[in-house]
Chains A and B, each alone.
Chain A
Amino acid sequence: MGAIYILWLRELKRYVRSRVQIIVSLGQPCLYLLALGFGLGPVFKEAGRGSYLQFMAPGVVGMTVLFSSVFSGIAMLWDRQFGFLKETLVAPVSRMQIMVGRTLGGATVAVMQGALVLVVCLIAGFRPHSWLAIPTAFLFVVLIAVVFAALGTTIGSVLEDMQGFQLIMNFLVMPIFFLSGALFPLEGLGNVMKWITRFDPLTYGVDGLRGALIRSWAFHAAVDVAVLCGLALVFLSTGAYLFRKIEV
């Protein structure tokens, strides 16, 4: 338990200490809110769908949690590079504990980042249907964070250099975000697009967030929770398996 705690704490310390990074990472969500939320707002309204800011804010929160948690896993590249990974791999604790500690740390950081962006959304004018929705939304933020932090650790266990990192960003993380329904409604999509979005894990996270915050569900809450929990299990066990196989 000590090992899990100390590695979790390490991720948290890194986050809190890099104030510049916290501010920088808020930049992208703000840009989305500004350019899309306010830029596309009039078109969305014209189409009779109400406020686009209301619609996309949960998507932007989901995006922040996605990026932040995947990054924390991939940050293992730096630990590999600067050798700290080796220090943990020769320690007399199981690889499972190391993996869990890192993943939980990354997930916690992502949750904090998501909460910050939610505050930004509130400042920008987003209003949940009721303040009591916040705890439910929080549950979904946690689920998204765990799923993608585990995915990040899985990827981080396999990646060895920076080229791979670009590949993952362009061909995995960006598609996961853009095809998740974070920016557009899931109803009335063409058949191909419909199926693609159904296979995107983030779709269920964003749906849960949107459902909780503005009561607009595409699926049932139970479906979202079940899918996310299932994926968390799958990614955690794959991550643990691959992490065990790391040789440095």
Chain B
Amino acid sequence: MIRVQNLVKKFGDLTAVKDITFEVKQGEIFAFLGPNGAGKTTTIKMLTTLLHPTSGSIELDGLDPTVKAKEARQRFGIVFQDPSLDAEQTAWENMDLHGVLYHVPRKVRAERTEQLLKLFELWDRKDSYVKTFSGGMKRRLEIARGFLHTPKILFLDEPTLGLDPQSRNQLWTHVRRLNETEKTTVFLTTHYMDEADRVAHRIAIIDHGTIVAQGTSAELKERTQSDSLEGAFLALTGTSLRDESADPKAGLRAVARMWRR
């Protein structure tokens, strides 16, 4: 379903992704793990047509997203690391807008919106503005939205960041359920090793832009002779801290909060 070969992304002198190759099969839940700044988000952005790769090839359901961007976009859904909802509209309106953008026919749109909002326990809040939602509710809405156009692949970039254990647990239950009922291939990144261990069928560990290991959780543990995935992760990526540089958006975020928009 996803085939990546020798993918490279350079930003000036910095090489964020160095020659990675991997494959994700139809219906699989694939976890992409790595420390901060390892290249996870850059890879997802290239897979989802938001960034152009410097070199290498990508195939999504047999399509090259750099050439057939529109066709590829129709086939995947994505939940970004940071929120991407329109806070000034209601949950239902957010779903509807997404459905229109993804050419979902009106009737199907209404049916699936209802079905997904009920599944993610947001139906009774469908007419509330998203700005009144809690972090967990916003996340659930984003994931529900990602499934609306019945994508073949769903990308989840750290979907559980900042959620309490209850919400995380519930969220993965829903994702797993939809993975089983709709056969959606799921590509996820997370910092919580226990989640990856529990949810993912296969795991790839990326560090400094290269894939250092891939396989099932059991294989990774065996290879590093650790008794937990976290142990395996630390054995493969080391224990030094990674600092990400601050981006200009952090400043803007503060201003925007001040103006309450």
Contact = CB atoms under 8 A, between A and B. Distances in A.
A80 B50 CA distance: 13
B98 interface: yes
Interface stretch (A51-59, A87-95, A109-117, A122-130): A87-95
A22 to B, nearest CB: 14
B82 interface: yes
B251 interface: yes
A88 B101 contact: yes
B83 interface: yes
A46 interface: no
Contact of A2 (B45, B87, B88, B100): B100
Interface string A61-93: 000000000000000011011111111111111
B86 A92 contact: no
Q: How large is the interface on B (under 10, 10 to 19, 20 to 34, 35 or more residues)?
A: 35 or more
A248 B48 CA distance: 11
Contact of A81 (B102, B103, B249): B249
Interface stretch (A10-18, A186-194, A208-216, A217-225): A10-18
Interface string B34-55: 0000000000010011111000
Given A78-B261, A90-B49, A247-B50, A14 B88 contact: yes
Interface string A145-168: 000000000000000111000000
B78 A90 contact: yes
A85 B93 CA distance: 16
B155 to A, nearest CB: 9
Interface in B244-261: 248-249, 251-253, 255-256, 261
B73 interface: yes
Contact of B103 (A2, A18, A82, A87): A2
Contacts of A18: 88
A84 B86 contact: yes
A78 B256 contact: yes
B73 A3 contact: no
B85 interface: yes
B107 to A, nearest CB: 14
Contact of B84 (A83, A160, A161): A83
A18 B50 CA distance: 31
A92 B63 CA distance: 14
Given A84-B84, A94-B70, A161-B249, A6 B101 contact: yes
B80 interface: yes
B214 interface: no
B97 interface: yes
Nearest to A2: B100
A92 B70 CA distance: 5
B84 A3 contact: no
Give 9 nearest A-B pairs by CB, closest first: A83-B84, A91-B101, A92-B73, A92-B74, A6-B100, A161-B248, A87-B84, A2-B100, A92-B70
14 contacts: A2-B103, A6-B96, A6-B100, A17-B88, A80-B249, A81-B253, A81-B256, A83-B80, A83-B85, A88-B101, A89-B50, A91-B98, A161-B248, A247-B51
